[in-house]
Amino acid sequence: MTFKPVFFFLSLVLLTFSLSAQEVYVSPGGSDSNDGTKKQPLKTIPAAQKQALKILEDEEESEVTVWIAGGTYSISEPLIFRPFGSGQLVFKAQGNESPVISGGVEVSRWSKNNEGLWEAPVPEILAESGFRELFISGKRAIRARFPNEGFLYVKQAGEDRRTNFYFEKGDFPIPSATDGVELVFLHDWSISRIGVKNINADTDQLVAVDTIGARSPAFFTIDNWEPNPRYFLENAPEFLDADYEWVFLPDQKKLLLKLPEGVNPADLEVTIPFSEGLISIIGQEDQVVKNIRFEGVAFQYSKWNIPEEGYCGVQACHFDPRPGNGGWAVVPGAISAVWAENISFVGCSFRNFGGSGIWFGTGSKNCKVVDSELTDISGNGIMIGEGQDRLVDGQPWWKSAAEQVAASNTIENCTISRVGAQFYGAVGIWAGLTAQTTIAYNELFDLPYTGISVGWMWTPQATPSRENTIVGNHIHEIMNTLSDGGGIYMLGLQPGSKILDNRIHDVKVNAGRAESNGMFLDEGTTDLLVEGNLVYEIAKSPLRFHRATTNLVRGNYFFTQESHPPIRYNTTQETDIQKVDNHFFPKGDADYQKTLRKAVSRWKKKVKREKR
């Protein structure tokens, strides 16, 4: 008799589980006319998504798992998720398989022309919409540029200091036509990519189709940066002279590709991104999208075209819209979410994107990217929250609707590299006006600009930003192209926010006016704790404040170059920065290397212990 209640309870549990959890299977070898079972899988991700959502909505199940077999699943437009109820929707790789959701189109029908270049027709739909990127076996190919490496240098800005400049005679081959030719111009911490209107070979003058640099702030003039600013030119047949370079001829709807002798593109996977985004999660303030999880899924190939009148960056892939005079726009994410809660990406990979990677935007809460890899991204790697410009009731949202702040989101144990592949002012992880964001135990490296950026107010004015934590990250080989940034960049009032136990090293000198640092705490930085960080091999100062106010710097290990102070204060009262128990080691010290090795060893052990 005593076993009957137990047996009844277990039977009830099993029955409840069977009623509340459902499974849908999808495989490249399946068919969308199948029933979605393991024996009869569906073929496409959209069909599996539709079936899973129908189960959640019609049958009121508490969880549906879409099991994805290995292989590539091509999509031509983003998968869109809207509010679907209270259940949980999971997309998960089967076993140890590696499914890929791809927004790319493969190029075929190659032939070799009389100049030894490979050419292929471009599908009509791609030729009409245009494209900026080409990938060969998953590796970014180079859109024909001059010079092939390094930069050209402006001789002198034109009279208006905005739209044109002079170059040295013979600096570059003059294209026979400028339609489609792009100028890539480097500012200190951002770049412009803008069309060329004309090039005068007699006066050695280049004129762009619009202003080079953002219209606002006003200091984005050609001659406000380096003495002779860096630039290069892209996308002309005359520049097609190096292996793995390519160019698209829109009038002929033809692609040209230069490959090493003996290499046939028919033996390679040559892919053009086509889908403008891969995942789009769209909720509303009164109807939030909840409880979606992706696990073990790879996302590859996503397209983003710059505005017709050019991309002129301001900071962290924000740019002024053209046409238009509104607030700053931002390079969008291939994975995007607004008014979303409990959205998770676990053990996923993201690569070969034309825009940014992942963006948890307005109203996003309790969203996570964990144990994942992002690499070869044109814009920012991961973005959390938003800037200042959105209006609610005619006022900036952070004044009139502060409760809409993105909050309690987490980026943990991810690897982020080679972001900013097109837009060099990109950062690995960007968090704008956010609250209770946690950025923990990630590795960020091989970046053209800053590693992690948090904050989006250049004064100590109160915003919803608070209690953001950057802890245990390993940031190295950064600031490889631009300047005036650092491993960690913060700004604005940040009550309760912390920079803890990060390891930052190998930040090189660049050609811009301002130096780059291990940590750069910019205008308005206030109420921030900087504690336990290890910073070394920094060409300039490990820590720099600029127009900051009161902050606490405690227990850090700063290894410095002999000629640079461990902490630099630009328009900052040194007495406002409370310093407690910090350790400074100039490179000339006899025990410098030994002390550094011990400090690195301690950091590794501490982070390993904390991650448990």
Q: Which residues contact 142 (CB under 8 A, 6 or more apart)?
A: 148, 242, 244, 245, 246
Q: What percentage of the chain carries pLDDT values higher than 90?
A: 89
Tokens of 457: 């107010």
With tokens 């200042």, the residue in question is 388
pLDDT over threshold 90, residue 12: no
With tokens 């079936």, the residue in question is 51
Question: What's the alpha-carbon Rg for the chain, to the nearest Å?
Answer: 26
**Mind listing the domains of the chain with CATH numbers?**
17-103+275-289 (no CATH), 109-269 (no CATH), 309-611 (2.160.20.10)
Interval 46-82: pLDDT, tens: 999 999 999 998 877 789 999 999 999 999 999 999 9
β-bridge partners, 439: 411, 470
C-alpha to C-alpha distances, 137 to 134, 143, 352, 585, nearest whole angstrom:
10, 16, 11, 46
N-to-C CA span, the chain = 45
Q: What is the pLDDT of residue 437?
A: 98
Band (7; pLDDT cuts 50, 70, 90): very low
Tokens of 296: 């073990």
Burial class (CB within 10 angstroms; exposed 0-12, middle 13-18, buried 19+) of 415: middle
Provide the H-helix boundaries in 324-479.
Answer: 397-400
Interval 566-604: pLDDT, tens: 999 999 999 999 999 999 999 988 899 999 999 999 999
Interval 539-576: pLDDT, tens: 999 999 999 999 999 999 999 998 899 999 999 999 99
Q: What is the pLDDT of residue 367?
A: 98
Interval 439-498: pLDDT, tens: 999 999 999 999 999 999 999 999 999 999 999 999 999 999 999 999 999 999 999 999
SS3 content of the chain, % helix, strand, coil (to 5): 10, 40, 45
Q: What is the pLDDT of residue 21?
A: 66
In this structure, are residues 386 and 432 in contact, taking their beta carbons and an 8 Å threshold?
yes
Q: Rounded to whole angstroms, how far apart are CA atoms 6 and 18?
A: 18
CA neighbor of 320 nearest in space, from 183, 427, 216: 216
Higher pLDDT, 3 or 342: 342
Residue 347 sits at φ, ψ, to 5 deg, of 65, 30
Interval 305-317: pLDDT, tens: 999 899 999 999 9
Q: What is the pLDDT of residue 611?
A: 85
Count of C-beta atoms within a 10 Å radius of residue 321: 14
Count of C-beta atoms within a 10 Å radius of residue 400: 12
Asked which of 57-61, 296-300, 401-405 is least confident by mean pLDDT, the reply is 57-61
Q: Is the peptide bond before 123 cis (omega within 30 degrees of 0)?
A: no
Interval 78-96: pLDDT, tens: 999 999 988 999 999 999 9
C-alpha to C-alpha distances, 227 to 153, 212, 348, 402, nearest whole angstrom:
9, 16, 44, 42
pLDDT over threshold 70, residue 518: yes
Helix (H) or strand (E) holding 56: helix 45-58
Burial class (CB within 10 angstroms; exposed 0-12, middle 13-18, buried 19+) of 392: middle
